[in-house]
Structure 1
Amino acid sequence: MNPTERHECGADSVMIMLPGALMTPQHMAAAGLLAEVQRRALALDVIAPDLHAEGPDNRLALRALEAEWLTPARARYRRVWLGGISRGGQLALSCLAGRQGEMHGLCLLAPYAGGRITTNAIRRAGGLAAWRAGADLENDPDVRLWHWLKQPLPEVPVYMGYGAQDRFADGMQMLAEQLPRATHATVPGEHDWAAWLPLWQRFLDQGHFAAGAQEAP
């Protein structure tokens, strides 16, 4: 199991940032995700855990996320944000949409919207309101997310961005339509760090976290 990556500065806010499929917390650190927070001296701790050991079923990962990360974070921090990249973004959005646990905001970088079988079925039905999940609801995390999105989301700040040339951009556009109150951003790029890091930088520059945090001794 990959160890957790952290940036801690004694802040009262934390971002639990979930890696995508085939991505480790170390990939996120190497790409500069934590360094961008440190460089801005933001009052934000960042924790990048590894939940891949829970397998492809988001239900197991959601339970682990709540028990091992969100619940302890709420006991320590005043504000708990949740974020993720690709599959990690799907898991973060599933946590909010499925009312899996209270949080104060979401940061979604190229969140995976599910396979085209699911998104095409929603289009054929005439949109999400008319679509009905079938028997695969119990076993398919993509279907469960869209089923949850039929209900209004809890009102917390949501930031969502993706690369304009991302191979999953059509599904992400469908997600964006279900998040009308979110802050949306697109940048040139595909499904990789060339898009994700600028999107993360834009999020950090939005002013959600006061500057001036001091590094922990």
Structure 2
Amino acid sequence: MTPALRKLRLEHGGRDLLVLLPGAGMGPEDFVTAGFFATTRTRAPGLDLCAVDLGPDSISSGQALPAVSREILEPARARYARVWLGGISLGGLLALCQAADHPHSVDGLCLLAPYPGSRLTQGAIREAGGLANWKATAEQLADPEFRVWHWLKAPPADCPVYVGYGTEDRFADGMAQIADCFPPASRCTVPGGHDWPAWQLLWEDFLASGHFSA
């Protein structure tokens, strides 16, 4: 029997829930240490949080997102007005994977420095002349990263998205391509790299975006 996901929650009566997926090598405690929970408590009383521990084995086996959906997203439907999914780096890519494969499972996305995928994925799109010219093959659509980029060609207009990254992030070029798939009001850049100081600034900007109220 697959063990239940380990979770850390902030529950203060919010109307909305945001499920946070960590990046590679991170755990849910990192969101707490970085002040995400404390900032949310004071600045976004309309938002509850659930940070999840995703082990590398469950990610590589493809079991991570089904577990998140089964244990968190689906039950939250009965309790919250909206259920958002977000993450940092690899967690951001996984949030996009969920939205691409199950578009009605989430009501919004918070993507902080979302990892744009492997060099193989990025290279294939670049060689096609960019996302607008790229046509996914059946073989590519069997890969979750390519399915994300296929979804990004025409993301649903009714799904609110926040996407931000540091201007000095080593993956900034690919993140800019993700951001360009959404309206300008959905995008944010801050000084910094692929690190917590930049992500903390982005988190504060996301909470100030007006999506959540008491």
TM above 0.5 = yes
What amino acid is aligned across from residue 62 of structure 1 in structure 2? L
Report percent identity of matched pairs: 52
Contact persistence 1:96–1:153 (CA under 8 A): no
Report the Cα offset of residue 147 of structure 1.
2.6
What is the Cα deviation at residue 102 of structure 1? 2.8
2:82 paired residue among 79, 93, 98: 79
Residue 213 (structure 2) pairs with residue 210 (structure 1) = yes
TM normalised by structure 1 equals: 0.87
Q: Which moved more, 1:46-55 or 1:176-185?
A: 176-185
User: Distance between the aligned counterparts of 1:90 and 1:182, measured in 2?
Assistant: 20
Q: Write the distance in 1 (CA, Å) between the matches of 2:45 and 2:83.
A: 15
Counterpart in 2 of 1:214?
A: none
Q: Give the total of aligned pairs.
A: 209
Question: CA shift at 1:5, angstroms?
Answer: 1.2
Unaligned runs of 5+ in 2: none
RMSD over equivalenced CA pairs, Å: 2.0
Moved over 6 A (4+): none
The yes-or-no answer on 1:186 pairing with 2:175 is: no
2:67 alignment partner AA: A
Superposed CA deviations along residues 25-64 of structure 1, whole A, max 9, x for unmatched, are 011111111111112251211000123251325x432222
In the TM superposition, residue 141 of structure 1 has moved relative to its aligned partner by 2.9
Provide structure 1 residue ranges, at least 5 long, that are not aligned to the other structure.
212-217
Select 1:12's aligned residue among 11, 15, 20: 15
Hey, what does 1:174 align to over in structure 2? 177
Superposition deviation, residue 100 in structure 1: 4.5
Q: 1:215 maps to which residue?
A: none
- The answer as to 2:59 corresponding to 1:55 is yes
1:153 counterpart residue number = 156
CA contact (8 A) 1:109 1:196 kept: yes
Relative to structure 1, the CA distance from residue 99 to residue 182 in structure 2 (aligned partners, 3 Å threshold; closer, same or farther) is farther
Amino acid at match of 1:78: A
Q: Which moved more, 1:174-183 or 1:64-73?
A: 174-183
Cα offset, 1:67, TM superposition: 1.1
